[in-house]
Structure 1
Amino acid sequence: MTTSSLVLGPIMRHVDETSASIWVETRDAARVTVRAGRQSWEARTFAVHGHHYALVEAEGLEPGAVVPYTVEIDGNHSWPDPDSEFPPPVIATLKPGAQLRLAYGSCRTSVPHDASGNRTHGVDSLRAYALALAAGSGTASGTTNGTTWPELVVFLGDQVYADSTSEEMQEFIRARRDIKEPPGEELKDYEEYAHLYHLAWSDPANRWLLSTLPSAMIFDDHDIRDDWNASLSWKKKMEATSWWHERIVAGLSSYWVYQHLGNLSPQERAEDVIWQQIVLHPGGDEPDLSAELDRFAELADQDPASYRWSFCRDFGDTRLIVVDSRAARNLDPERRALLDGAEMTWLDGQMRGGFRHLLVATSLPFLLPMGLHHVESWNEAISEGAWGKLAARAGEKLRQAVDLEHWGAFQQSFRDVAAMATEVADGKRGPAPETVTFLSGDVHFSYVAEVERSSGSRILQAVCSPIRNPLPRLMRSFGAVMSYGLAVPIGALVARSARVPDPPFRWSRVRGPWFSNNLASLEVSDDGLHLWWETGVVDGGDDLNPRLENVASLTMAPRTPQEHAARSGRTSP
């Protein structure tokens, strides 16, 4: 029989051919056991600010195996609930030589899945996806809508909104403190972050999905606060408040616990400075990491080079690089960079050929629609003084007001990464892949763009945003106008007026934009790189059981001279 000792999870995290990492939050200090077939693995919990967690490392598994598992807490069965309507959770190890399939997206608010929540925030695409997979099969080797289960889902930021909270979250805050005092309805400390993650991950359908489908995660601004690290001016303004220090420490420490820890392979985890405190803790009692984790988070904020949140994984002939485009910034106006020197050097080392596809996952789109890219590059120039001090103050206000802080607003970083991508695509860093594809979210509309090239590999941008947080209709029209049409030549003109050099290459839209809530999928196939976007649709007022509907799909075939000349055969119905 299940018990309430399991607060959150289990969540399937890093999985390779022979091992799997299963994360849980428990009510009390405990020993957590995972059983699969005749094998079992155990871990003790560690504590952070009164909460208890464990990450169980299941090792010695068979490659390509799909094995149901259970979770016990202090010897009591805790997962799955025998009365659950969902299939048993499984550990599905990677199959050697298999082509990669993954799902990805960003921006998902934690509001109820009833008629009211769907009316204000739309249907949760992740939940619709979970229901479709549950109905299609009971194992990760099954199919739904003719598509096999992915090996991974990548969450590209804004899994939780610390600065724009739901009514449920605000009720929790009111029970603890005066919500009229700063930071008001926004999150204040670790306890509030823990509750927000519970709201985000406890829905039964999503909880089941996360218990079976391995996940990788990276933060974006709303995990901490809107425009996080947009500029030095923004950072100084936050640091002058009475509440920011506690907020950033809680945000980064909870991120390490709830999101980052499971990104690491067993080998990477063994080298992690915080994880070592758990492994090396003497005796059988539960280690308390509260003070150590707070010190670590404070240092990570003040000195980004002290810790790397980015990570890289190879899946057969496909490499996935997940890039931190928030915490690793250098905000010094003289050395302004979206990735500081240490982070850029690390990325440079990962950007290599020899793979069929090179996937670069960054929460912020690398290739914004060109109109927006020009506007952001112009805004950076005037904010940093190209038109004088008065214009700089106006530019900074505009930057923070309308979120002009993507790759285009960090021109040197954009050009450095563009050079890397071009060198890979031209075969100068090993055998050229079929594509260099940037996977992103953040902007609350989805699209595909491609760099205009006469030879070499394709360089693509594929955005999926939001999973659940659509733009108001007025903002959709504004975004479309700013992104395309006259915005491109006008944007280029104003950028040149601030002496911003032209981009190192041009790119254009392949498909999109579309503004619905979506979860995107990617599959490496014999025909090329297959991409599609799906959304949840409510029929007959049945808000709790949305169906999954295709929004768009296309296959990016390997480039040939004939295909480039004809510019045809790009999309599938």
Structure 2
Amino acid sequence: MTDTALPQDPAGPLVLGPMLRYIGETDATVWVETASRAVVTVQADGREWSAATFRVRGHHYALVVVDGLEPGGEWEYAVSIDGTPVWPDERSELPASRIRTIDRQRPTRLLFGSCRTTAPHDREGHRTNGVDALRTLALALARDEQEWPDLVAFLGDQVYADDTPAAMLEFIASRRSLDEPPGKEIKDYDEYAYLYRLAWGDDANRWLLSTLPSCMIFDDHDVRDDWNTSWSWHEEINRIPWWHERLMGALSSYWVYQHIGNLSPGQLAEDEIYTRVLEAAADGPDADELDLTEAVFDLSHRVDRHPDVYRYSYRRDLGDSRLVVVDSRAARVLEPDHRSMLDPAEMRWLDEQLTGDVEHLLIGTSLPFLLPPGLHDLEAIDEVLASRTRGRLLARAAEKARQSIDLEHWAAFNDGFVEVFDMVLSVARGERGTPPASVVFLSGDVHNSYLAEVVDAEECQGARSRIVQAVCSPIRNPMPRGVRIMMSAFARGLVRPMRFVAERSQHVPDPPCSWEVTDGPWFDNCLAQLSVQGRDLSIVWRAGQVPGEDDEHPVLTTIASVRLPARS
């Protein structure tokens, strides 16, 4: 089997997918993109479920709800389009795709990671982009060398709209000049649609995404580097003539390719846009194909102006664990005198989700909540300086630093950081139900992986849960070696001087508790797996390694493994 080539124009009715997205105890959803208007049918367990396509900008999609399943069951499935079998691919040597429903008695195994660029899986692609950890896992699972995970959470930068691969540039050049703004970057919805094909279209990853449920959230590169960093960034980018079309294409394609698959069938029935798909389905198979272009683009326009009109955050219940995935990009409050990672409506929603009475509370946010302490203090200090509390000149320098070296994580939105920290401490003290054994932030973004833990929560706040930050980044986008060395030394060397400055500033409040990096950082391309073991957890980071010169068949290697026993 080889999949080093990037996808060509589809010869049949299936363009992309199938992707197994939502999974529950008795239901699942399967997403596909088709070449034209069609009815998509999923067959499993001797039954069939169908959905008619809807279209956006001339592209056709279906999300098939597979319901009435048994908890903890497992079934091979197939897909047909207008009665023509399209999946599994009869030419493939990969195993059959399966639907596995959640079993509350089975300990959860959750994969997570972020930042995955697209490049061929050959010697040159490995030289420039490293080995794809996702594809390596896919091959290991196909060979039955690993236990099956229950879910993979992609925590941002699924696609890079501002750093496009060679195959994407060929497509762009076929429809406009690369000298025409935005040049080599993505311009509109149609280019995003092709970018997603490149990201998800190679054989092994396509198979993995057809048989392993996935949930997703965007980060900046899904739209553009530094997206919504600050009010100044927002003002500057909106002066660029091509920006609005780019943003509308980004948010609209995100809704189609990523967001709707995050939602349960019940949540889809309440979604203001997807309800139109369900209403159209009630008109029967002979009805005209629903065109959602205007509705989806109108939503994107409204979200840009008023982020609180729509929620991209969501929740998944996994039996022994709860996963709450937070939008830390589109829901920001950027006014200079009131900055928060989450607007009031989003903060209220998160407050409702963060409760106890679950073994482990997992919070997915693309940006690390707990940075290495020195970096946290640096970003908090920079936010204060950029607010002009120390003068206009210093504020300009702080804003320039914020944008040029990405000082825009939770620490740079300190009001929101403290508010969420207080929620987590309330959960950990048992004020919102029986405290979980652990509260774990799962994040990516920073192109290195590490584990951090709050060290004094029990002493200073009465917390009974472990509070942990686990970061896995990148899946495939390695930081240059020289930058790795500099960043590692930079993070360690900042701890004492930044704490000294922060403690003496009247405007930089002390965090509710202190934390430290206990493991890492590691800079390899990797994918992490969190495994529940009763009230204990373990997290392992795995990478791909090419044996000899066999670039087509990388093997998994363990970068690090950490066990987190529950507090007695």
Q: TM exceeds 0.5?
A: yes
SS of 1:336's partner is: coil
Q: CA deviation at 1:527?
A: 6.4
Alignment match, 2:407: 404
Q: CA deviation at 1:212?
A: 0.2
Q: Distance in 1 between matches of 2:170 and 2:505?
A: 48
Q: CA deviation at 1:493?
A: 2.6
- What letter corresponds to residue 378 of structure 1 in structure 2? I
Equivalent runs, 1:436-455 vs 2, <5 Å: 436-453=439-456, 455=458
Residue pair 2:337, 2:387 contacting (<8 A) in 1 also: no
- What letter corresponds to residue 220 of structure 1 in structure 2? D
Alignment match, 1:75: 83
Q: Distance in 2 between matches of 1:480 and 1:322?
A: 28
SS of 2:485's partner is: helix
Choose which of 423, 428, 432 in structure 2 pairs with 1:429: 432
Residue pair 1:375, 1:494 contacting (<8 A) in 2 also: no
SS of 2:95's partner is: coil
Q: CA deviation at 1:105?
A: 0.2
Residue pair 2:355, 2:427 contacting (<8 A) in 1 also: yes
Q: CA deviation at 1:540?
A: 1.4
Alignment match, 2:292: 289
SS of 1:443's partner is: coil
Alignment match, 1:261: 260
Q: Distance in 1 between matches of 2:505 and 2:180?
A: 42
Choose which of 355, 360, 364 in structure 2 pairs with 1:361: 364
Alignment of 1:313 with 2:316, yes or no, is: yes
Q: CA deviation at 1:314?
A: 1.5
Choose which of 323, 335, 338 in structure 1 pairs with 2:326: 323
Alignment match, 2:484: 476
Q: Distance in 2 between matches of 1:377 and 1:497?
A: 13
Q: CA deviation at 1:502?
A: 1.8
Could you list the runs of 5+ residues in structure 2 that have no partner in the other structure? 1-9, 459-463
Could you list the runs of 5+ residues in structure 1 that have no partner in the other structure? 137-143, 561-573
Q: CA deviation at 1:150?
A: 1.1
- What letter corresponds to residue 488 of structure 1 in structure 2? V
Alignment match, 2:122: 114
Residue pair 2:359, 2:535 contacting (<8 A) in 1 also: no
Q: CA deviation at 1:64?
A: 1.3
Residue pair 2:57, 2:190 contacting (<8 A) in 1 also: yes
Q: Distance in 2 between matches of 1:276 and 1:37?
A: 28
Alignment match, 1:489: 496
Alignment match, 1:522: 530
Q: CA deviation at 1:498?
A: 4.7
Q: Distance in 1 between matches of 2:503 and 2:169?
A: 46
- What letter corresponds to residue 451 of structure 1 in structure 2? V
Alignment match, 2:381: 378
Q: CA deviation at 1:301?
A: 1.3
SS of 1:273's partner is: coil
Q: Distance in 1 between matches of 2:351 and 2:490?
A: 32
Q: Distance in 1 between matches of 2:267 and 2:274?
A: 10
Equivalent runs, 1:30-109 vs 2, <5 Å: 30-109=38-117
Identify which range, 13-22 or 445-454, moves more after superposition.
445-454
Alignment match, 2:3: none
Q: Distance in 1 between matches of 2:273 and 2:83?
A: 27
Q: Distance in 1 between matches of 2:126 and 2:457?
A: 45
Query: How many residue pairs were aligned?
Result: 549
Alignment match, 1:543: 551
- What letter corresponds to residue 239 of structure 2 in structure 1? A
Q: Distance in 2 between matches of 1:527 and 1:32?
A: 42
- What letter corresponds to residue 190 of structure 1 in structure 2? Y
Alignment match, 2:6: none
Alignment match, 2:234: 235
Q: CA deviation at 1:551?
A: 0.8
Residue pair 1:446, 1:513 contacting (<8 A) in 2 also: yes
- What letter corresponds to residue 530 of structure 1 in structure 2? S
Identify which range, 278-287 or 507-516, moves more after superposition.
278-287
- Residues 409-436 of structure 1 show CA distances to partners (whole Å, capped at 9, x for unaligned) of 0000110111111111111211111111
Alignment match, 2:138: 130
Q: CA RMSD in A?
A: 1.2
- What letter corresponds to residue 163 of structure 1 in structure 2? D
- What letter corresponds to residue 340 of structure 2 in structure 1? A
Alignment match, 1:216: 215
Alignment of 1:304 with 2:304, yes or no, is: no
Alignment of 1:338 with 2:337, yes or no, is: no
Q: Distance in 1 between matches of 2:294 and 2:431?
A: 47
- What letter corresponds to residue 529 of structure 1 in structure 2? L
SS of 2:99's partner is: strand
Q: Distance in 1 between matches of 2:452 and 2:473?
A: 15
- Residues 323-347 of structure 1 show CA distances to partners (whole Å, capped at 9, x for unaligned) of 0000000111122111010101110
Choose which of 2, 7, 10 in structure 1 pairs with 2:15: 7
Q: CA deviation at 1:232?
A: 0.6
Q: CA deviation at 1:454?
A: 6.0
Length-normalised TM-score, structure 2: 0.95
Length-normalised TM-score, structure 1: 0.94
Q: Distance in 2 between matches of 1:433 and 1:421?
A: 11
Q: Distance in 2 between matches of 1:97 and 1:42?
A: 30
Q: Distance in 2 between matches of 1:235 and 1:181?
A: 22
Q: Distance in 1 between matches of 2:505 and 2:200?
A: 46
**Identical aligned pairs, as a percentage?**
53
Equivalent runs, 1:138-287 vs 2, <5 Å: 144-145=145-146, 148-281=147-280, 282=283, 284-287=287-290
- What letter corresponds to residue 46 of structure 2 in structure 1? R
Alignment match, 2:541: 533
Residue pair 2:360, 2:535 contacting (<8 A) in 1 also: no
Residue pair 1:3, 1:77 contacting (<8 A) in 2 also: no
- What letter corresponds to residue 498 of structure 2 in structure 1? G
Residue pair 2:218, 2:327 contacting (<8 A) in 1 also: yes
Residue pair 2:104, 2:320 contacting (<8 A) in 1 also: no
